[in-house]
Structure 1
């Protein structure tokens, strides 16, 4: 009898541990959505170098994908022609390997945060198309080859299309025309044939932008140039875009034959002088009425913010067959770029973890949402 009781106790303990393990596993964002899409976050240098134990714990426990916020942009990787600085990027990639994460490189070709030398010759004039092509190829090949097999996906080109569907008149466009985008993807594919390749942009639900991006995707595919996904930055606010607008964009991109990445998700509760924008060139002077929640969010505002996030995640789950990953642009409210954009010095509450590195109630709600599906 004693042996039976002991056996039953062991069996009961095993079941309890199994149940507890399942509960523990489902109590994180990454485990709750592991069968739907990757859950990621952007990392700054503080998180990359694991300077704060609380932040490091959040990154390791809650996320299974990471993207470099700044250290892989060209102005940091190649500040002078032929002189590469890889220390920060190496550390970032090593962190992803240590935590077995789906690591994303951001970004190879972007008109902003670009070193001055990239477009000019020794006389300060625009370089020829041939020289620019070679510089693009060298930068992309050098960076992508270094992290071949380690970085799983690249934002190859960033923010090249305007809301009306026209091409941004960047130096890339002025010197090479529309062809600079297919060229960048071609070079990236050569450097790492197995890495996923993405086009990434903001205000990605605007009809003109959707039309041009879809056309661009189809054109590259017809030419045998691989593009695996479209990144929708998802810098959203409390009113814009509508869920219908966002859903239409997700469906349109998926119909073009690529996966959708929600790449830079944050939800601002603060008023905007012109509506939602992510153009870092846009700045307006500080205005007190633009910073109404210095001492925290009123309860009713917080509830509306939570409901808005919930609605977006319901939409993501509805279209999980089309979505590869959902990545937040930052870890905690204190580090969010929205505190300084478009009005410097504001206090925003755009992310899932507060200024004390504590999970907001929305985290548990988003986890439960996945468990109910």
Structure 2
């Protein structure tokens, strides 16, 4: 009897161990970060409710599926330094703490961007443009303070955001008008001085367009020739149902990787709504008046539209997996459809469906598709 009991216990333990392994395997197969391990990081942009823990359902999803985070707004200069010399790091500190506690790759977004910058940054007390020297000093102070505060904690920074137009010319931002194209080099140098170990990136939208592609390659090679540290290029993924094409996206992935820096797909989302204008862009300055015909799916997507969006996402993730040797990270610009900026841009008050999780925090079929593709 004792021998039988011994064998019974051993058998029970083996069965339990096997069941536990299967459970862990099943759990891993359902998580994006597990499926994509060894291919590229999978990231998400976090909003204030997620950073503070108010959105508990969102926090659970982020911990389960993602291993990299980017702040949606709390590290932009208008938030961090609304008045000259007066910094507000409250939310940014919580964001970095969240990433550290959950062993995530933490991205800082963004140091120098013409949009969502405080007005004081570019003008004197009389409202007139400051001198080149003053703006450079303000840039240096902002970058040194912000990057220095998170030295060794934030792993990579979007140093300069959206400095080049689609045709390849420099955007005529205040940074460019007052300093000249040198503001890009200076921003990277200041960031490197503040944290020599942090990765430094250039980030922009419409990166599949030939003019912008060629200009970014030229800019990166120019920085490299001057000995300036630049570690990666972020290709913003604000997609529509017909832009960009797979072919042009692939050309840019390859062209950017040939500069020797890391390539990242950033700010990824996919709108299914009609465009109110002819310009295909992710320029936050664009805005159009609400019209009912521009909001065709206020109560849910027709099956045919949902399937078309699924298929388009699948095509691009197959492309990313094909070039996993070149792509370091893919970051979604938001967690659920409810969170997305697409609901209010470029037409306020619309209902869009651009992300991987629906308004009830449920994964869309594309999540399972990505996992299956990754496991092949």
TM range (shorter): over 0.9
Query: What is the rounded CA distance, in whole Å, between the counterparts of 2:361 and 2:19 in structure 1?
Result: 31
SS at match of 1:131: helix
Query: What is the rounded CA distance, in whole Å, between the counterparts of 2:347 and 2:87 in structure 1?
Result: 34
Query: What is the rounded CA distance, in whole Å, between the counterparts of 2:279 and 2:302 in structure 1?
Result: 22
Where does 1:94-243 land on structure 2 (aligned, <5 Å)?
A: 94-243=97-246
SS at match of 1:234: strand
8 Å Cα contact 1:236-1:276 kept in structure 2: no
Gap runs ≥5 in structure 1? none
Residue 75 of structure 2 corresponds to residue 72 of structure 1: yes
8 Å Cα contact 2:70-2:106 kept in structure 1: yes
SS at match of 1:39: strand
8 Å Cα contact 1:334-1:355 kept in structure 2: yes
Q: CA RMSD in A?
A: 1.1
Deviation at 1:160, TM superposition (A): 0.4
- Of 300, 308, 315, which aligns to 1:311? 315
Q: Specify the alignment match of 2:306 in structure 1.
A: 302
TM-superposition CA deviations, 1:267-308 (whole Å, max 9, x none): 111111225321111111112221111111111111111010
Query: What is the rounded CA distance, in whole Å, between the counterparts of 1:124 and 1:57 in structure 2?
Result: 46
Per mean C-alpha deviation after superposition, the further-off stretch among 285-294 and 157-166 is: 285-294
Residue 91 of structure 2 corresponds to residue 92 of structure 1: no
Query: What is the rounded CA distance, in whole Å, between the counterparts of 1:319 and 1:225 in structure 2?
Result: 26
TM-superposition CA deviations, 1:133-184 (whole Å, max 9, x none): 1111110010001001111110000000000000000110011111100100
Q: Specify the alignment match of 2:53 in structure 1.
A: 50
8 Å Cα contact 2:114-2:173 kept in structure 1: yes
Q: Specify the alignment match of 1:12 in structure 2.
A: 15
8 Å Cα contact 2:50-2:56 kept in structure 1: no
Per mean C-alpha deviation after superposition, the further-off stretch among 354-363 and 174-183 is: 354-363
Query: What is the rounded CA distance, in whole Å, between the counterparts of 1:344 and 1:274 in structure 2?
Result: 18
Deviation at 1:126, TM superposition (A): 1.6
Deviation at 1:20, TM superposition (A): 2.2
Query: What is the rounded CA distance, in whole Å, between the counterparts of 2:148 and 2:52 in structure 1?
Result: 23
8 Å Cα contact 1:26-1:367 kept in structure 2: yes
Residues 146 and 36 of structure 1: is their aligned pair in 2 closer, same or farther, counting only changes over 3 Å? same
SS at match of 1:173: helix
Number of residue pairs aligned between Structure 1 and Structure 2: 372
Q: How does the TM-score come out when normalised to structure 1? A: 0.97
Per mean C-alpha deviation after superposition, the further-off stretch among 8-17 and 344-353 is: 8-17
Deviation at 1:130, TM superposition (A): 1.3
Q: Specify the alignment match of 1:30 in structure 2.
A: 33
8 Å Cα contact 1:329-1:336 kept in structure 2: yes
8 Å Cα contact 2:76-2:109 kept in structure 1: yes
SS at match of 1:233: strand
- Of 348, 362, 365, which aligns to 1:361? 365
8 Å Cα contact 2:77-2:117 kept in structure 1: yes
Query: What is the rounded CA distance, in whole Å, between the counterparts of 2:357 and 2:27 in structure 1?
Result: 19
SS at match of 2:21: helix
- Of 333, 338, 342, which aligns to 1:338? 342
Deviation at 1:222, TM superposition (A): 1.2
8 Å Cα contact 1:240-1:275 kept in structure 2: no
